[in-house]
Every structure is written in structure tokens, then in C-alpha cells.
């Protein structure tokens, strides 16, 4: 079974605060689930697939595996119009707002 | 026999609207009456919009205007629809059934919403779902479970459970859901409606709250195959705002389906016996209609579910990293910046969401990445290739949609047993193929007749093949 320390480490990486009871449950659940999905690591994949790493696999056909780039220019036309003028709605969603600013915690501190 | 206008198919309602037998306002009111009667116990809608009648009046005015100008009206003009709570409608709340976004108001319209607004559809409200589309039964909603209209002690299926129940119970004529691993098809099967997961990229994902970006597709839930087809043709299309969207000519057109393939080893185990009986009967019916079946083997199917869940965990953990309590959504303050993040995310995300974030972090960790995510990505590509090859031999792959009818509430409390129910639906999301579920009759549990669905999967881009075969399955 996955250790308590491992779960705490994953929780820290995931930026999640967990209760003691939840950690205990996750130790069991994650061990069960990982035990099941581990089957995939035993699969023999033909060298033509993924031999150069997954990113290169069939880049020509599967849209979801293709890197799609666009020019770094301002949008124009209909798609630009659909996004224009929404600044105030975005600001309205700020958890703590001051004027047009989103108030966040000071993260640079003086050395002590 | 239901006589309320709320139980019409979209196609029937559109005909009546066209000849002025009814108005959009009549239709909207009929749905609101059903909502008033049933939503309290079924919990399909998280919010019913207060301006439904006003929207319907606008639709009626638009129809009158079109007639005056001799213009044809879109068949969806004035049709009342339900929307899953993870689809953005400008100025309205979109919460993904999560405490994290409980008070979040969408800043723009999703592309699918823009297309439906252009058509003149009326939006009734937003429907319940598993939080962030993570689940199989709509039990993971932060706002309570949705109940199955055929037996209220049972689940609606998920994650688009509210949309499926709304369509099944006359609370909407049709609905939009999203499908990440079966989230349109599973609730459609449990509730006895038609549901489509389109080809990956056929429908823009712009304005959907992301779960697993390489799997997610918005799709229709409807009472008939014709209705699902109408909704799909309205929302589909390439979109400059979704770089993974594709044009309608991305894949070569195919002729009408002639042969079905059945992955016999996959359905040999774990399937309820009476669901198998219904499935075999449906195959017989399709054979009589001129589309025979043959057994097929897809070797990598045996690890499809493991492959699916590894990818799901990985993408969920990275997609949900955006919810940090800083820019929008639930925000709680702790002692340090780290605490701000960790307490906001602990308070905002439900148990299953937290579990998947932890699992995703695990499978993406240094030392595990190659064995899990790397292998899963390669297995996924191998499976996709097997699908491309098999569709040179058959036109449609048929399976039951779900291995069982609707589960009872609380039955699948162990997460792994919940995941195993998705065995037939996840493959279409892994490979990007389109898949349709159509009711194939009922099975009996505790004296109640519960619907079960038949799933058809077609070659990439061949939704028309799905609609053609779906229309043949009339039970």
C-alpha cells in the first residue's frame, strides 16, 4: 500500500489540504486504482507506435496528438469580436477587487 | 400516452411551430409545468432561468418577422433546451456542479451556445452533473444526486445526468451534454434517450469547462435519432477559437453502413445477462433490416479502461490546476500563499475530484511518468490504429452502452467499481471516433422496467452512418 508520506507529498504537489481520514482513505483507494491501471505498463507496444516518444506517434492523422500552432498576432474578425469587451466581466470575478485591480498576497519578502 | 407538448420530439414540435399550431411560448410553458412537477424530486436542473418565457416570446417574434420577410426559420427556433452546467452562457452561472464555481458567472458564450442562439433555441436552465464531469452516475455533484425518472431510488447515470433526466421526463425537448468517457452516452442509456458523442474536433470545445481536453466533446441528448442529428448539425463546425476543431471534410465521406462488427471477447464478461439478451435481439433486428454482424477482435481493447483512466487523471490534475483561488472561483485565505491555494482547493473540490487530482499527480510524477502516462499514450495510439484498420472491414462497431441498467444510489461507492462501468464507452474517447447510444428496450429490476442502450461506434467523421443505423433500431 502507498505510504502516508507519499500521499502527503502528492497532496503538497497538488496544492490540496487533506484531512487525516482522507489520507487514510486515499492510501487504500489509490493503491487499488493504481493496481488496476498498472496493467497498461505490461502492454507490448509495437515499435512503430510511440517508439520515438508519444508526442511523435501518428502526428499526421490523430488531431488530438498534433501540435497546432498559430501566428502570434492579434485576432481579427468574428472570433475577435466574440472576445472583445469582456474585461469588466473578468474583473467582476476577482475574489478581492480594488478598482480595476485584483488584490493578491505580497509574495516578495525581505530577508530576515 | 403523454399528451403534454413537453413530450413532443423536437422534429414534431418544429412542424407544429411551422404551421402555427403551437407557439414557442406554449412549448416553454409546457416544459416549465413539467419542471414544476418533477424537478424537486429528480434534481435535474440546478437552476431554471427566470427569463424562459421572455426568450420564447423573442423566438415567436423572430418567426413572425421571418415570415414577413419570406425567410425560412431554423428548425430549432423556439425549441426549449436544457444545458449541462459546464457550458458557458454569457451572464449566467456555470458551476460545473462544484463549490469551486458555485457563484461563477460566465464572461462569454461557448461556441455551441452561440450557434444555438443564432438558431433561436430557448434555454430552460442548467442541469446537474458530476462535479467537473468526473464520475459515471451524477452522484459526485456538489449539489445533490439526480434521480432516475424510471425509478427514483436509482441514479441517472453521468456525468450529464441532469440533461438526460430533463429529456426523459418532459422537462426539456432536447439537451446538450459533454462526453469525456461516456458522459452523454451513459446517462442516455440509464434514462432511455438518444445520445451522441461526436468525432473528436467535430464540435468546438470553446466555452466548455475543461475536464480532459483530449477526450471532451459536447453532444446532444434527445428523444429521437432525428432530433440528435438536428442538434448535432447545428452545433458542429470548425472554430477559430478551438485549435483542435476540424472541418466537416477532415475525414473522407463513407457510404451507408452495411456491416456491423461486434467485439465478442469484450462483451463476453461483466455484462448483465438480460442486457445481453436485449443486445442480441437488437442485432437480430438489424440483420433483418439488412445489416448483418460479424465478430471482430481489437487486441488493445483489453487495456482501454486502464489507458483511459491514466490519461483522465493526468489531464484532470493539470486542467484543474487553474483553480487557485486567486483570479476567480472559491477563494479562502490561509497563513501563507501555499495555504491560500491548498485551503481554497480543499474547500472547492469534492472527494472524487481531489482523488483524481492526486492520482494524476502520481501518474505524472518523475519515475512513474514513462510507466503510466507514456505507456497509456502509446496504447491509445495503438488502439486508434486498430480502429482505423477495423473500419476498413466493418462500418459500425456495436456493443451495449453500459454493462447494466441504472445503478441504485450509493451502489458504486467504491471508486474502482464505478470506473469499471465505463468499459464500453471510454474507447470512443480514446480513439476520437463518434459514438451513438439508442434505447434497445428495457430490463426489469425490483419490479421496475429500466431502459438500456445500444452503442454504435463509427469511423472518424461518420456521424451520418451512426444516424442511419440508429434510425433502423426502432423497438
Domain contains B333: no
**By CA distance, what is A88's nearest residue in B?**
B107
Q: How confident is the model at residue A64 (pLDDT cuts 50, 70, 90)?
A: low
Q: How confident is the model at residue A68 (pLDDT cuts 50, 70, 90)?
A: confident
Substitution target from A63, A76, A78, A103 for chain B, most B beta carbons within 10 A: A63
CA distance A57 to B303: 18
Q: What is the ipTM of this complex?
A: 0.90
Q: How far is CA B264 from CA A67, B271, B287, B306, in A?
A: 36, 12, 17, 19
Phi, psi of B245 (to 5 degrees): -75, 155
Beta strands, E only, chain A: 97-98, 101-102
Residue B104: give the domain boundaries.
12-323+362-475
The answer to whether the Cβ–Cβ distance between A18 and B354 falls below 8 Å is: yes
CB pairs under 8 A between A and B: 177
Instruction: Work out the average pLDDT over A25-31.
Output: 94
Domain contains B162: yes
Quote the pLDDT of residue B242: 93
Domain contains B62: yes
Q: Going by DSSP bridges, is the β-strand pair B396-400/B174-179 parallel, antiparallel, or unpaired?
A: unpaired
Instruction: Work out the average pLDDT over B135-143.
Output: 97
CA distance B78 to B174: 12
The answer to whether the Cβ–Cβ distance between B378 and A75 falls below 8 Å is: no
Residues B332-357: pLDDT tens digits?
A: 999 999 999 999 999 999 999 999 99
DSSP β-bridge partners for residue B236: B203
Domain contains B341: no
Residues B291-302: pLDDT tens digits?
A: 999 999 999 999
Residues B215-266: pLDDT tens digits?
A: 999 999 999 999 999 999 999 999 999 999 999 998 999 999 999 999 999 9
DSSP letter assigned to residue B299: G
Domain contains B329: no
The mean pLDDT of chain B is 96
Quote the pLDDT of residue A54: 42
CATH number of B470's domain: 3.90.1300.10
Alpha helices in B82-224 (DSSP H): 111-119, 161-168, 185-191
CA distance B213 to A29: 25
The answer to whether the Cβ–Cβ distance between A64 and B200 falls below 8 Å is: yes
| B358 contacts in chain A (CB < 8 Å) | 7, 10-11, 14, 16, 26, 30
The answer to whether the Cβ–Cβ distance between A17 and B416 falls below 8 Å is: no
The answer to whether the Cβ–Cβ distance between A93 and B375 falls below 8 Å is: no
- The pLDDT of residue A110 is above 80: no
Instruction: Work out the average pLDDT over A39-55.
Output: 62
Residue B83 belongs to what H/E stretch? strand B80-84
**By CA distance, what is A29's nearest residue in B?**
B415
Substitution target from B90, B319, B329, B379 for chain A, most A beta carbons within 10 A: B379
Nearest to B381 among A62, A70, A86 (CB): A62
How many structural domains are present in chain B? 1
Quote the pLDDT of residue A47: 57
| A15 contacts in chain B (CB < 8 Å) | 321, 324, 338, 341-342, 345
CA distance B435 to B248: 17
Nearest to A82 among B105, B108, B306 (CB): B108
Cβ(B196)–Cβ(B434) below 8 Å: yes
Q: CA-based diameter of chain A, in Å?
A: 59
Residue B80 belongs to what H/E stretch? strand B80-84
Q: How confident is the model at residue A59 (pLDDT cuts 50, 70, 90)?
A: very low
Residues B365-404: pLDDT tens digits?
A: 989 998 999 899 999 989 999 999 999 999 999 999 999 9
Domain contains B373: yes
Domain contains B337: no
Quote the pLDDT of residue A52: 43
Q: How confident is the model at residue B277 (pLDDT cuts 50, 70, 90)?
A: very high
Domain contains B351: no
- The pLDDT of residue B64 is above 70: yes
Residues 6+ apart with CB under 8 A from B314: B360, B363, B364, B372, B373, B376
B145: left (phi over 0), alpha (psi -120 to 50) or beta: beta
CA distance B23 to B1: 22
Amino acid at each position: 500500500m502507498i505510504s502516508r508520506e507519499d500521499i502527503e507529498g502528492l497532496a503538497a504537489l497538488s496544492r490540496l489540504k487533506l484531512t487525516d481520514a482522507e489520507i487514510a482513505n486515499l492510501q487504500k483507494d489509490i493503491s487499488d486504482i493504481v493496481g488496476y491501471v498498472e496493467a497498461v505498463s505490461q502492454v507490448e507496444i509495437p515499435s512503430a507506435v510511440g517508439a520515438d516518444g508519444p508526442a511523435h506517434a501518428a502526428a499526421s492523422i490523430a488531431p488530438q496528438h498534433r501540435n497546432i500552432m498559430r501566428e502570434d498576432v492579434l485576432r481579427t474578425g468574428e472570433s475577435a469580436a466574440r472576445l472583445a469587451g469582456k474585461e469588466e466581466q473578468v474583473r467582476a470575478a476577482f475574489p478581492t477587487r480594488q478598482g480595476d485591480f485584483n488584490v493578491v498576497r505580497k509574495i516578495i519578502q525581505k530577508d530576515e | 400516452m403523454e399528451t403534454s407538448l413537453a413530450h413532443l420530439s423536437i422534429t414534431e414540435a418544429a412542424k407544429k411551430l411551422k404551421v402555427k399550431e403551437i407557439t414557442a411560448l406554449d412549448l416553454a410553458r409546457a416544459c416549465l409545468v413539467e419542471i414544476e412537477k418533477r424537478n424537486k424530486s429528480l434534481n435535474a436542473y440546478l437552476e431554471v432561468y427566470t427569463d424562459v418565457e421572455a426568450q420564447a416570446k423573442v423566438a415567436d417574434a423572430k418567426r413572425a418577422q421571418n415570415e414577413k420577410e419570406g425567410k425560412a426559420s431554423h428548425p430549432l427556433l423556439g425549441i426549449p433546451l436544457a444545458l449541462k452546467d459546464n457550458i458557458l452562457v454569457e451572464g449566467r452561472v456555470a458551476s460545473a456542479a462544484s463549490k469551486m464555481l458555485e457563484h461563477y458567472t460566465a464572461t462569454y458564450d461557448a461556441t455551441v451556445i452561440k450557434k444555438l442562439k443564432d438558431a433561436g433555441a430557448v434555454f430552460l436552465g442548467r442541469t446537474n452533473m458530476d462535479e467537473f464531469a468526473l464520475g459515471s452516475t451524477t452522484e459526485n455533484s456538489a449539489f445533490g444526486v439526480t434521480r432516475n425518472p424510471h425509478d427514483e431510488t436509482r441514479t441517472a447515470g453521468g456525468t450529464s445526468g441532469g440533461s438526460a433526466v430533463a429529456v426523459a421526463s418532459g422537462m426539456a425537448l432536447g439537451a446538450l451534454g459533454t462526453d469525456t468517457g461516456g458522459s452523454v452516452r451513459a446517462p442516455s442509456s440509464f434514462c432511455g434517450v438518444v445520445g451522441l458523442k461526436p468525432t473528436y474536433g467535430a464540435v468546438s470545445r470553446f466555452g466548455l469547462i475543461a475536464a480532459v481536453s483530449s477526450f471532451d466533446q459536447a453532444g446532444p441528448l434527445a428523444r429521437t435519432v432525428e432530433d440528435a442529428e438536428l442538434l448535432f448539425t447545428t452545433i458542429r463546425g470548425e472554430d477559430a477559437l478551438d485549435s483542435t476543431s476540424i472541418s466537416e471534410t477532415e475525414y473522407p465521406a463513407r457510404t451507408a453502413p452495411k456491416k456491423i462488427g461486434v467485439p465478442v471477447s469484450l462483451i463476453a464478461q461483466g455484462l448483465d445477462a438480460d442486457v445481453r439478451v436485449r443486445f442480441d435481439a437488437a442485432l437480430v433486428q438489424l440483420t433483418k433490416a439488412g445489416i448483418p454482424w460479424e465478430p471482430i477482435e481489437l487486441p488493445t481493447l483489453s487495456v482501454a479502461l486502464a489507458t483511459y483512466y491514466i490519461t483522465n487523471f493526468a489531464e484532470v490534475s493539470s486542467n484543474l490546476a487553474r483553480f487557485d483561488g486567486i483570479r476567480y472561483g472559491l477563494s479562502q485565505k490561509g497563513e501563507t500563499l501555499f495555504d491560500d491555494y491548498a485551503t481554497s482547493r480543499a474547500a472547492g473540490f469534492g472527494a472524487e475530484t481531489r482523488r483524481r487530482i492526486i492520482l494524476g499527480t502520481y501518474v505524472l510524477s518523475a519515475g512513474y511518468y514513462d510507466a503510466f502516462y507514456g505507456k497509456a499514450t502509446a496504447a491509445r495510439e495503438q488502439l486508434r490504429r486498430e480502429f482505423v484498420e477495423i473500419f476498413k472491414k466493418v462500418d459500425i462497431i456495436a456493443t451495449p452502452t453500459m454493462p447494466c441498467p441504472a445503478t441504485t444510489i450509493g451502489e458504486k461507492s467504491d471508486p474502482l467499481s464505478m470506473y469499471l462501468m465505463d468499459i464500453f464507452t471510454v474507447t470512443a474517447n480514446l480513439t476520437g471516433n463518434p459514438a451513438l447510444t439508442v434505447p434497445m428496450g428495457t430490463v426489469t429490476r425490483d419490479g421496475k422496467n429500466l431502459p438500456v442502450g445500444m452503442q454504435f461506434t463509427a469511423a472518424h467523421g461518420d456521424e451520418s452512418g451512426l444516424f442511419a443505423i440508429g434510425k433502423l433500431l426502432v423497438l
